[in-house]
Structure 1
Amino acid sequence: MTSTNTPEISVVVPVHDEAGAAGPLAREIATAFAGRSYEMIFVDDASRDSTLSELRGLMAELPTLRVLSHAGNAGQSRAVRSGVLAARGAIIVTLDGDGQNPPADAPGLVDALLAAPSTVAMVGGRRAKRQDSTAKRQASLWANRIRKKLLGDDADDTGCGLKAFRRDAFLRLPYFDHIHRYLPALMIREGYENRYLDVDHRHRETGQSKYTNWGRLMASVSDLLGVMWLKSRSRQPGAVSEFQAD
């Protein structure tokens, strides 16, 4: 793919200290999207290991690979946003950089989104057999129940990093740190619909999780209150008509 081509799909992958995982993941993405119009954008969020150098070393092998780098660590949501802002595709796919989201499932989400009406802005992955510790699964289960009740969204698993969404819809949303966990509620707030598909989930083979249950809880409380406020301040105009001169 040359720089003059405009891909249909941009696969955005945020990574931080994922040496040993990012390279194989990039190759898997290339295999999953072979024959399709796509690019992949890995956003290195100021890794302290060899993640960035490993990705840069793959660029000659994988011509669809673009590598962005943050000068300072800004978090997963900012890395996703950096990738979306740089993306040339109208359809965005996100995957976690730890390799737990199988790229082979991603094209199915894209196809479901492309087949859906324009009112559907996102097709989210739903981890059918989550490969995490019991404590982590239980914490997520309760967090999802509380979030759904308070926000009235339709997602059973907002923590799944594998999603396909329309770039223009995403850029309409108000940005804040940890926004990636509230995309379903914010898409609904903007007047869009969401759909969901079951996806696989794998054990983490390298590195370690960047989050703890306690850290997630502390961030979630303030974020949840913020999104509740955003929902309360939303007003939809209905259809918007533009008139032509007589």
Structure 2
Amino acid sequence: MASNTSMVLNDATAADPASAGAAPDISVVIPVYHERENLPDLVARVGEALGVTRWTFELICVDDGSRDGSAALLADLARTRPWLRPVALARNYGQSTALQAGFERARGRYIVTLDGDLQNDPLDIPALIERLESDPDVDMISGWRHQRQDKALSRRLPSMLANRLISWATDVRLHDYGCALKAYRREIIERLHLYGELHRFIPSLAREVGARIVEVPVRHHARTRGQSKYGIDRTFRVILDLVLIVFFLRYRQRPLHAFGGLGLWLLAPGALILLYLLGVKLAGEDIGARPLLLAGVMMVLMGVQLIVAGLIGELLVRIYHEGSARPQYHTRALPAPDAGERQP
């Protein structure tokens, strides 16, 4: 993956001797923003949950420009924990960028994400990894907070509406898109590139790159320290981002079908209107002052412009794939044949 070193003020990867050793089995990536009060317990709980398992692990905490001393505290905690790798971004970029920064530094075969507010329980991580190891038909596991402890209606209502809307629009049916506790196979993360606020739609993006997704219930705890960063206004941002993700998933490689289709819907009736008015004109009637003439001309012009925009989009897609050598598809390993089906 490409490295965004220009965004990083202090990257502990270079200073951490563990980064030069063997890659761990699990990389836990946690974006952090103004969570200083929760960090000691968070780091301790991750260590307790994974330290007793058979897997090696690393914890990558990405401080997203906090101004409460979170970065300094993470650096202090890392002095006695070789598996803790803090990263400090130069300013607040948002959760998607913080996750991407962590993904680019993750070295594990499995990658787990969770929030830094202690509402997700690190004790759920081993069960998620066991599922990935035992079931080759699963590439991503999304947590479902089936017994949410959030009491505020300003959090529960927007979340419920967003989950239903996103499931309907993307056709990836999940109960809880907002749960940060998720586990992935490494190859899925390597195919994803997050920006803006696309972290809300990671399951949809993961399915687009070939991930087979399951949802499992996980524990959820009420926030006891710090303040929530979410509110009712988040719902409106989700709607705008949903327009982007639907376009991205359906028309990324065929923008002419989106713009051209809409253009034809305008061009066809506009052309029929003008043909009708032409017949009226030939019959001797005056059409210069008729509003229908202006409507027909505008519809034809807008339709032509949209079709041209679609053609330009097709050229850009071609340049994107051929110039950057990015694949248009992904493959997975073929399943091994059953012993009974092998030829003697």
TM-score (norm 2): 0.66
Closer/same/farther in 2, CA of residues 44 and 238 from structure 1, 3 Å limit: closer
CA contact (8 A) 2:100 2:193 kept: no
**Match for residue 122 of structure 1?**
140
Q: Give the deviation of 1:234 after TM superposition.
A: 5.7
Stretches of structure 1 lacking an aligned partner (at least 5 in a row): 242-246
Distance 1:174 1:225 in 2: 18
Q: Give the deviation of 1:238 after TM superposition.
A: 8.3
User: Which residue of 231, 244, 248 corresponds with 1:212?
Assistant: 231
Q: Within the alignment, does 1:22 sit opposite 2:39 as a pair? A: yes
Which residue identity is paired with 2:44?
A: R
Distance 2:216 2:95 in 1: 23
Two-structure CA RMSD over aligned residues (Å): 2.0
Alignment of 1:56-71 (within 5 A): 56-71=75-90
Q: Give the deviation of 1:135 after TM superposition.
A: 3.2
Which residue identity is paired with 2:91?
A: G
- Structure possessing the higher radius of gyration over alpha carbons: 2
Which residue identity is paired with 1:226?
A: L
Stretches of structure 2 lacking an aligned partner (at least 5 in a row): 1-16, 254-327, 334-344
Q: Within the alignment, does 1:109 sit opposite 2:128 as a pair? A: yes
CA contact (8 A) 1:189 1:234 kept: no
Alignment of 1:147-158 (within 5 A): 147-158=166-177
Alignment of 1:40-79 (within 5 A): 40-79=59-98
Q: Give the deviation of 1:240 after TM superposition.
A: 8.3
Distance 1:172 1:60 in 2: 33
Distance 1:238 1:167 in 2: 14
Closer/same/farther in 2, CA of residues 174 and 63 from structure 1, 3 Å limit: closer
Residues matched between the structures, number: 239
Q: Give the deviation of 1:167 after TM superposition.
A: 2.6
User: Which residue of 121, 124, 131 corresponds with 2:149?
Assistant: 131
Q: Give the deviation of 1:90 after TM superposition.
A: 2.0
Q: Give the deviation of 1:171 after TM superposition.
A: 2.6
- Secondary structure of the residue aligned to 2:191 is coil
Distance 2:184 2:232 in 1: 27
Which residue identity is paired with 1:54?
A: L
**Match for residue 250 of structure 2?**
232
CA contact (8 A) 2:31 2:64 kept: yes
User: Which residue of 168, 173, 187 corresponds with 2:187?
Assistant: 168
CA contact (8 A) 2:36 2:73 kept: yes
Q: Which has the higher contact order (CA 8 A, sep 6+)?
A: 1
Q: Give the deviation of 1:96 after TM superposition.
A: 0.2
Which residue identity is paired with 2:236?
A: M
Q: Which has the higher strand share?
A: 1
Distance 1:175 1:63 in 2: 28
**Match for residue 200 of structure 1?**
219
Q: Which has the higher helix share?
A: 2
**Match for residue 32 of structure 1?**
49
**Match for residue 244 of structure 1?**
none
- Secondary structure of the residue aligned to 1:229 is helix
Q: Give the deviation of 1:239 after TM superposition.
A: 5.8
Per-residue Cα deviation, 1:88-119 (whole angstroms, up to 9, x for no partner):
112111010111101111111111122222x5
Distance 1:40 1:238 in 2: 28
Closer/same/farther in 2, CA of residues 79 and 239 from structure 1, 3 Å limit: closer
CA contact (8 A) 1:154 1:184 kept: no
CA contact (8 A) 1:30 1:62 kept: no
- Secondary structure of the residue aligned to 1:171 is helix
Distance 2:223 2:28 in 1: 20
Distance 1:47 1:240 in 2: 39
Runs of 4+ in 1 over 6 A off after TM superposition: none
Per-residue Cα deviation, 1:198-243 (whole angstroms, up to 9, x for no partner):
11111111111112111x12321221011101121267868689xx
Which residue identity is paired with 1:232?
A: R
TM-score (norm 1): 0.91
